[in-house]
Amino acid sequence: MTAPSPAISVSDLSKSYGSTTAVGGVDLAVDRGVVYGFLGPNGAGKTTTMRMLTGLVEPSSGEARVAGVDCRDRAELVSHIGLLPEEPPLYDELSGREQLAFAADVRSLSWDSVSERALPLVDRLGLSSDLDKRVDGYSKGMRQKLAFVQAVQHDPDVAFLDEPTSGLDPRAAKTLRELITELRAEGTTVFLSTHILPVVEEIADVVGVLHDGRLVAEGPPSELVAQREDEAGDGDLEDAFLELTSEHPEPGR
């Protein structure tokens, strides 16, 4: 019996814009059913990597497969993935419900077939009473909640979430963290890009740290922290992150 292929496999993936190397030779293998925390300073190449993995940007070189599908084949990829980007694609003139139905339709799914999954998510996020209001009347947090439901309502193999708690109040952010761990329990792989390190420490199984377009560390958060703890055993993911992404790392490290 052959082992199942990883949810995400990336080999020597690069993307350049003119003389700027946004991503420079990244290798990744993300197992199915894990939460992968994707970290890196501003401009490290996280968004570019996610855009390549979701078929929105053509790599300059290298290979990337998600759920076994070549990322250059966006038409095939789209039914396997969900994406919550930094700026969610929502149509102002639609109601929340129409927006979700539209997103289902893009994947050739009927609203009836996804609503059983979508509506409980809408309810958990406290959006039910606003679902028939127009999106242009939504607050930032309401837009973010709708965009999250849109990204996962079709039960994707891999969900790409860029700062999913952005704009959410503390209660909604907590619910969203719970929903991410529930997705994992259902077997969904979650690729989570965020600057909120305590969230990653809490819910990620594995963390990858990108710096200047290269993966400089990868492992369970506790391992990354343990490798960089001081003699007193103090340290957290923020300390590890700051050291890993420092322009001038400590000598000997």
Ligand X SMILES: Nc1ncnc2c1ncn2[C@@H]1O[C@H](COP(=O)(O)OP(=O)(O)OP(=O)(O)O)[C@@H](O)[C@H]1O
Instruction: Say how far apart CA 11 and CA 27 lie, in whole Å.
Output: 5
Query: Does 19 sit near ligand X (CB under 6 A)?
Result: no
CA-only gyration radius of the chain, Å:
19
Smallest gap, in angstroms, from Cβ of residue 95 to ligand X? Answer: 30
Instruction: Say how far apart CA 249 and CA 226 lie, in whole Å.
Output: 17
For CA atoms 122, 127, 130, 135, the dihedral sign is negative
- What backbone phi and psi angles, to 5 degrees, belong to 82? -130, 145
Looking at the Cβ atoms of 42 and 108, the one nearer to ligand X is 42
Instruction: Say how far apart CA 86 and CA 26 lie, in whole Å.
Output: 21
State both tokens at 182. 């529930």
Looking at the Cβ atoms of 26 and 172, the one nearer to ligand X is 26
Smallest gap, in angstroms, from Cβ of residue 190 to ligand X? Answer: 17
Asked whether 62 and 23 are in contact (CB, 8 A), the reply is no
Smallest gap, in angstroms, from Cβ of residue 123 to ligand X? Answer: 31
Length of the chain: 253
State both tokens at 12. 């020597």
Q: Judged by CB under 6 A, which of 20, 110, 222, 246 binds ligand X? A: 20
Q: Which of residues 110-129 bind ligand X (CB under 6 A)?
A: none
State both tokens at 168. 């959410």
- What backbone phi and psi angles, to 5 degrees, belong to 132? -100, 10
Looking at the Cβ atoms of 45 and 62, the one nearer to ligand X is 45
Q: Judged by CB under 6 A, which of 17, 70, 174, 242 binds ligand X? A: 17
Stretch that binds ligand X, among 14-22, 88-96, 110-118, 145-153 (CB under 6 A): 14-22
Q: Judged by CB under 6 A, which of 24, 37, 40, 59 binds ligand X? A: 40
Q: Which of residues 43-102 bind ligand X (CB under 6 A)?
A: 43-48
Looking at the Cβ atoms of 17 and 91, the one nearer to ligand X is 17
Q: Which residues bind ligand X (CB under 6 A)?
A: 17, 20, 22, 40, 42-48
